[in-house]
Amino acid sequence: MNSFVQITHEFAQSVEPSTELNFQSLLFENDFKAVFPELFLVLASLFLLIYGVVWTTSASTGYPLLLRNVNWLALLTLLLTAMIAANSPIGHGVFFYHTFLLDDVTFFFKMLVVVGALSSLLISLDYLERESVNGFEFALLLLLSTSSMLFLISAADFISMYLAIELQSLCFYVLAAFKRDSEFSTEAGLKYFLLGVFSSGLLLFGCSLIYGFTGVIEFSELSKVFASLASSGEVYSDKVDLVQASQAFGASLEGSPLQPPSAGGGDGHLAGGGSLVSTSSWRGCELGMIFLLIGFLFKLTAVPFHMWAPDVYEGAPTAVTAFFSITPKPALLVVFARLLYQSFYDFMIEWQTFLIFCSVASMVLGSFAGLAQHRIKRLLAYSSIGHVGYLLISFCCGTLEGLQGLAIYLVIYIVVTVNIFAVVMTPLRRASHSAQQQQGVERIKYTTDLAMLAKNNPLLAATLTVSVFSLAGIPPLAGFYGKAFLFWAALSSSQYLLALVGILTSAISCFYYIRIVKIMYFEAPQNWLSFSRLSKESSLVLALTTFFVVALMAYPYPLYVASHKVALALSM
């Protein structure tokens, strides 16, 4: 009531002439330049939405499907986004009241995400047409989730992080259930939705705990609060006033609309009777951090929280599975790395223990459960769980090499995943029954469907062999360098257990990777299948990715330099 009176009062006064500059309109003058790629991506997808819906419902043109058309426009949008991001006028900085930040890390991972989305759409063009996934909305959901991943990469506080994750997940739930007439797809969407929402809830609870105990949501401010706590002596016994610490650093956020409320609330607390005992708030922050970790590990499908992944990967349309396994990992991992290395570096002992457990468990489960799989998408799901385990090694190192290993491994993993999914989405033609000769819409379900691929399509078999060997980490291929770098980083930071388990499990997982090769080259098929023609786009992507996998050993320096730059920027 009071505020209302005050507002009406001010409204009466506010008729003064505004000769002075209105600072609020100038406030974001330069900030929009920083989010130009995201802005373009969002606006273009909104434009495409209108374009698509107007034309697909227009009776005069006979309700065209616009599938290929919108997909190509989406590809163009992604390409332009990548070009805009590459030519961004602003390279570093914090924008929108500490909401977004830009540095070398965000640039690297944004390019990775955009190129990943681009290639995953490129390889699924043909698939989408063949499977008659006829909604033009597919490409739009893909674009919107890509834009949210870009926002996620440059998130600088809990709110923007959570909102970006939610926008991304919301698009993913719809994408997983995109084929409405398929029970598997619907089931995948529902499972993904329930578990995704649950993990988001955990994530949000972690954020709110940390905010409640510190009164700070920005990653950089959190690091200051925790550092001051840690440096002020024995954290577990001494009475360090966390509220005061946060207040001191909160004062540096001048003009921020998100002023930590601890200034008022904390004082009340102090007056109410005694200061906040630091042990409890330290413990509280630890608890919040554990919830955050669990939420992230759910999203990353690390092992104790992986149960949804195989079903979702199996049930969702293959184009969606490809998109799920290619694009979101870098975005999630980079913000995870930023949280761990920037905000929670002082909690390193705690999260390191937690992550070592998850990493070992993921590697072990990924390698052993993969042995029992005969369905190719499920196999790839378990394989990706195993690779998440390898990626988590890099966090446990806590060193520059670890972060560098993360970037290198991610790039290689994404390239190889693109390659494998390009093959998996190739249409099959069943040749055994002459009556069903024309039925050319079979897709690969089982690994045995690949039998005699070496005879039917030797080049494709060779490509798949190369990429599967690369996943397994066979020496002259790119995957080997990624794994070797990670294991070296683990060894140099004395994580002998991780390196040992990593090497052992990658030897075990070689078994099922090599089994695919064996099936392709040496196994007589039960029912004869032959691959039909690859689309031009897929073959182009296949050629490029295979070239990358084979040729990385000859010239790895750009990747090493770029990843080192990323690691340096991330650890600062």
Residues forming the site for other proteins (CB under 8 A): 1, 4, 7, 10-11, 14, 22, 24-25, 27-28, 46, 49-50, 53-54, 57
Which lies closer to other proteins via its Cβ, residue 148 or residue 495? 148
Which lies closer to other proteins via its Cβ, residue 49 or residue 204? 49
Which lies closer to other proteins via its Cβ, residue 25 or residue 434? 25
Q: What gap in Å lies between CA 121 and CA 128, rounded to an integer?
A: 9
We find the least distance from the C-beta atom of residue 28 to other proteins, in angstroms, to be 7
Which lies closer to other proteins via its Cβ, residue 54 or residue 83? 54
Q: What gap in Å lies between CA 250 and CA 252, rounded to an integer?
A: 5
Tell which residue, 35, 57, 50, 39, has the closest CA to residue 140: 50
* Contacts with 132 (C-beta within 8 Å, 6 or more apart), sequence order: none
Half-sphere CA count of 432, side-chain side, radius 13 A: 7
- Residue type for position 272: G
We find the least distance from the C-beta atom of residue 63 to other proteins, in angstroms, to be 11
We find the least distance from the C-beta atom of residue 22 to other proteins, in angstroms, to be 6
We find the least distance from the C-beta atom of residue 48 to other proteins, in angstroms, to be 11
DSSP state of 435: G
Long-range contacts of 435-441 (CB under 8 A, 24+ apart): 440/532, 441/130, 441/131
Which lies closer to other proteins via its Cβ, residue 19 or residue 25? 25
Tell which residue, 80, 16, 20, has the closest CA to residue 45: 80
Q: What gap in Å lies between CA 283 and CA 276, rounded to an integer?
A: 12
Tokens read off for 169: 């997940």
Which lies closer to other proteins via its Cβ, residue 53 or residue 540? 53
CB-CB neighbours of 35 under 10 Å: 23
* Contacts with 115 (C-beta within 8 Å, 6 or more apart), sequence order: 82
Contact between residue 487 and residue 503 where contact means Cβ atoms under 8 Å apart? yes
Contact between residue 310 and residue 382 where contact means Cβ atoms under 8 Å apart? yes
Which lies closer to other proteins via its Cβ, residue 54 or residue 497? 54
Tokens read off for 267: 């004082």
Q: What gap in Å lies between CA 142 and CA 40, rounded to an integer?
A: 15
We find the least distance from the C-beta atom of residue 319 to other proteins, in angstroms, to be 22
Which lies closer to other proteins via its Cβ, residue 9 or residue 533? 9
Which lies closer to other proteins via its Cβ, residue 8 or residue 87? 8
DSSP state of 442: B
